[in-house]
Amino acid sequence: MKPFKVINVVGARPNFMKMAPIIEAMNHHPDAIHPILLHTGQHYDQKMSHSFFVDLGMPRPDINLGVGSGSHAEQTAKIMLEFEKVCQAEQPDLVVVVGDVNSTMACTITAKKLGIRVAHVEAGLRSRDMSMPEEINRLCTDVLCDYLFTTDYIADQNLLAEGIAPEKIFFVGNVMIDTLMKHRKMASKLALRAKLGLEVGNYATLTMHRPGNVDDRDVLKGILEAVAEISQQVPVIFPIHPRTKKMAEQYGLESFFSTALKPEGIWITEPLGYLEFLHLNMGARLVMTDSGGLQEETTVLGVPCLTMRPNTERPITCEKGTNIMVGSDKDNILKHAREVLSSPPPQGQIPDKWDGHAAKRIVEVLLRINSGEC
């Protein structure tokens, strides 16, 4: 039996954490699987992409489309045009996409129009919020894919309710947690926290980049006012996203930030590498975010997470984990932050199969697909 040629697509920062363990698991079967790593270049900032390949020990991409930035339509179109050429040249047996970024949807559509099978890792997540570009990407991707790998039972239920055939759905667990568990010990040995003068359990971290939070001056100002008050109790470390930095400067809100090397106030840093940020989050008293992946990581780390969004595609983190939805209202953020800071850390549960072996399960399914069992 000839090796199963698989193109594995990464496009943006979160994709790297999801793809790294899958590539590693594939490499354990060199006679059965021929993996090709393709980077669309959707994120091209050094700190937003290159450092992730280094931190996660991923091989350099075999192919880099280098599409760069642009509107959603421009970026999607560029990816489709370039990816079509790759598929025609490589003739893969399967394309694996992860997450919910533009690269995920664009490569799925392109492959399917060429008659190539597609597998989606992290399928079935739903926020029910069509104002989120990621929700549109998820829905388009899942309805087209041949194989859907899910992280929890809620995702399975979503797909079944949408009419997806049960035989296409595989509950494998969470590959983000594979990456976390592999690198947790390494991250714990970093000296960053000591360098910054931070004490375990006595600081918070913040990430924020979604348009709903950063593209409206009043909303962004309200969030920063809330965080500024929280920073009077615990220092807040804010590795600022380029988009957020740009909008804060445009709105004249830089006065909320401090770049001084002292653990007080809202302390701005450049975007951090995966290991550095994991190191900080492991020791945090509180994490505030509008990210999806951090909701999952904090659940496993047992760190309280305030998600500054009106909804989540990862409700399992609220049901079992340490995640609390607080929206973008200043008073609500403050209320929940004060409750967290004045209470013992929550005792959340880790969802089923978030055990560090999701990628192994995915590759086991791929081997069965190649042998004709699926």
Residues designated as active site: 209
How far is Cα 69 from Cα 123, in angstroms, rounded to an integer? Answer: 25
- Yes or no: say if 344 and 313 are a contact pair by the CB < 8 Å rule: no
- Yes or no: say if 95 and 119 are a contact pair by the CB < 8 Å rule: yes
Cα distances from 80 to residues 26, 83, 105, 106, 107, in angstroms, run 25, 5, 9, 6, 6
Which H/E stretch holds residue 288? strand 286-289
How far is Cα 361 from Cα 37, in angstroms, rounded to an integer? Answer: 19
Long-range contacts of 66-73 (CB under 8 A, 24+ apart): 66/41, 67/40, 67/41, 67/42, 68/41, 68/42, 68/44, 69/44, 72/102, 72/133
Strands (E), 40-154: 63-64, 94-98, 117-123, 147-150
User: 340 CB contacts (<8 Å, ≥6 apart)?
Assistant: 285, 286, 304, 306, 324
Sheet arrangement for strand 63-64: 63-64, 33-39, 4-10, 94-98, 117-123, 147-150, 169-171
Which H/E stretch holds residue 287? strand 286-289
Q: What single-letter amino acid sits at 270?
A: E
